[in-house]
Structure 1
């Protein structure tokens, strides 16, 4: 499996060029929403308004995905009726309703916390106060200045809530909804938990390091259900420290992202593991956030997240699947669904 994954990662690096956007934030078009149907945008924003009074977590303790899912559906071409139907079904499936939420407008305003919101990072109970701080900041300073000022403080805790913190912020930025952006930034801040730093020691060439990472798949055999708990456990392991010490952490952030995306994509494609799926969507969020991050943003945060995510994945229970040949991949175009490619002609690994 290790040899196959290493070869696939090298193939992906060559076949899937990845150049992070260098456009300023004001010129970055929202993926899939650059020319939306007017009614879809109105409906999406109306639903995101209502999402603002829902908590960030579901009754079962897992993350509330509704705001992110609504934006993703709109980007995939869902019409207004589809968005409304999805929202109602999602709430019903979780045992919730719009009326279950407390109207944020009726809640007493918290004390002004703009100068000191960072002291509340990592406090789940402070989500409401943090949301008010983020809303105040956006209103006073505007989206661009406030987000560029906040992200450096949030960046070290990239793995917040199993990467749902940055994922939700990326969706909110692309949706262009200030209320959802305030909620998303507050969610990231309230679940903020940096992974341990490890100083580089004899870094390996990227291909050799990727092989070492892949060889470590499933060695920790972590079974705790919440991904965030497994990430924390992985970050305390000697294997995490060893892999991180040998990682080429000196690469700039954009280049590191370009090298790590194929590893996460191919790992998920071969195993279907849910934790690696979070890595894929989390790295996609980082790509969206790149124009908002300072050029000197610590790339080591990304390496820490990928190593912990890979070790947290219960790959000892995964059955690797062969990938399709490159020429059999479907041609996907906006407005046209992808057609499943024919069965791959590869040997089992």
Structure 2
């Protein structure tokens, strides 16, 4: 990623983003994340300013004033209190200026439920982008979003008096096996809701899901397996929620090094729960194994476009999801072995509507 010194306009626009609320018109505030992705892909200063104005005009809402200030020692008292977002962002930004972002991220994520699904994965995604750009206000915003919109998923892993029919859960043999168990057990059941988190909340209350959910597979490569499963799932379905699973896994990958070692396993467990719930929320569609996806691409004589070409197309696009997704695919592309490269390129091309 290019440095902020190369893109002083990025820092300026991220500063200006403070005038926008946590949410937007029918969405969350994607502006700072899209700006960072655009800069990383090589967008000009003029293009960054143009996108900022596009977001300002079409999607932004003015920042809300919190009812009172927050002392850092009391930040956990803001859990679930969305009106406190602005004050908590100020609180975290001041603390970061004093102690550095690494210490503050580690302290906050050791105190609250990390809750990867918060704001449909966007809180963690925004935090990861803030860390990539090194922008204190954006790091503070991601942390504040995790606190005030916290969407922790508390599903018992063992039989309880309230749910006696559940036997102690066995771990899935692999990530793919776990999602396959959910697909088989849920039978395509649909869930009502307009927003991603509304449907996920309905899944959490569903007795059938509680019974079929497998425990997290025992593997040292969990995030790699989740990433490969998610990109294959998106390539097959083009589903909007599964798109967020792809970008969410990448954000989790960025945050793991920031955590105390004892919290890393907890984040992986929380991520497994969040992704299983997200998958069920869209009907847990039956999917081809990853290798069959790769074989199908090969048989179809798939011709991948270069990342430079894909970046240029994404930079011209005003769809913030297309911008972020293309950037995420390029980053994950470099982390996986050769056979999976074509899936990341094919998925990005699908998102950008490139034939």
Q: Which residue of 1 aligns with 2:306?
A: 332
Q: CA deviation at 1:250?
A: 4.7
Q: Which residue of 2 aligns with 1:277?
A: 243
Q: CA deviation at 1:208?
A: 3.4
Aligned-partner Cα distance in 1 for 2:18–2:108: 20
Q: Is the 8 A contact 2:183 2:284 kept in 1?
A: no
Aligned-partner Cα distance in 1 for 2:135–2:103: 16
Q: Is the 8 A contact 1:216 1:311 kept in 2?
A: no
Aligned-partner Cα distance in 2 for 1:95–1:113: 28
Aligned-partner Cα distance in 1 for 2:80–2:217: 25
Q: CA deviation at 1:216?
A: 5.1
Residue of structure 1 aligned with 2:224, choices 250, 258, 269: 258
> Which SS does the other structure have where 2:156 is aligned?
coil
Q: Which residue of 1 aligns with 2:169?
A: 201
Q: CA deviation at 1:282?
A: 0.5
Q: Which residue of 2 aligns with 1:88?
A: 53
Q: What's the C-alpha RMSD, in Å, of the aligned pairs?
A: 3.2
Q: Which residue of 2 aligns with 1:121?
A: 79
Aligned-partner Cα distance in 1 for 2:278–2:235: 15
TM-score (norm 2): 0.74
- Quick one: structure 1 residues 110 and 238, their matched pair in 2 at CA, closer, same or farther if it must change by over 3 Å? same
Q: CA deviation at 1:87?
A: 0.9
Aligned-partner Cα distance in 2 for 1:142–1:168: 18
Q: Which residue of 2 aligns with 1:172?
A: 130
Q: Which residue of 1 aligns with 2:14?
A: 48
Aligned-partner Cα distance in 2 for 1:138–1:65: 22
Q: Is the 8 A contact 1:164 1:282 kept in 2?
A: yes
Tell me if 1:229 matches 2:229.
no
Q: CA deviation at 1:248?
A: 3.2
Residues 37-71 of structure 1: per-residue CA shift (max 9 Å, x gap): 72xx20111000000121011133x2111111101
Q: Which residue of 2 aligns with 1:16?
A: none
Residues 152-204 of structure 1: per-residue CA shift (max 9 Å, x gap): 33453211100100000000110111112112211121110201232152334
- Quick one: structure 1 residues 77 and 117, their matched pair in 2 at CA, closer, same or farther if it must change by over 3 Å? same
Which segments of 5 or more consecutive residues in structure 1 lack a partner in the other structure? 1-31, 344-349
Q: CA deviation at 1:219?
A: 2.5
- Quick one: structure 1 residues 329 and 300, their matched pair in 2 at CA, closer, same or farther if it must change by over 3 Å? farther
> Which SS does the other structure have where 2:28 is aligned?
coil
- Quick one: structure 1 residues 290 and 69, their matched pair in 2 at CA, closer, same or farther if it must change by over 3 Å? same
Q: Is the 8 A contact 1:170 1:289 kept in 2?
A: yes
Q: CA deviation at 1:315?
A: 5.9
Residue of structure 1 aligned with 2:255, choices 289, 299, 313: 289
> Which SS does the other structure have where 1:57 is aligned?
strand
Aligned-partner Cα distance in 2 for 1:176–1:304: 29
Range moving further from structure 2, 199-208 or 261-270: 199-208
Q: Which residue of 2 aligns with 1:145?
A: 103
Tell me if 1:213 matches 2:182.
yes
Q: Which residue of 2 aligns with 1:4?
A: none
Q: Is the 8 A contact 1:110 1:132 kept in 2?
A: no
- Quick one: structure 1 residues 277 and 197, their matched pair in 2 at CA, closer, same or farther if it must change by over 3 Å? same
- Quick one: structure 1 residues 273 and 184, their matched pair in 2 at CA, closer, same or farther if it must change by over 3 Å? same
Range moving further from structure 2, 51-60 or 165-174: 51-60
Q: Is the 8 A contact 2:153 2:273 kept in 1?
A: yes
Q: Which residue of 1 aligns with 2:326?
A: none
TM-score (norm 1): 0.75
Number of matched pairs: 296
Q: CA deviation at 1:84?
A: 0.4
Q: CA deviation at 1:268?
A: 1.1
Q: Which has the higher contact order (CA 8 A, sep 6+)?
A: 1
Q: Is the 8 A contact 1:160 1:166 kept in 2?
A: yes
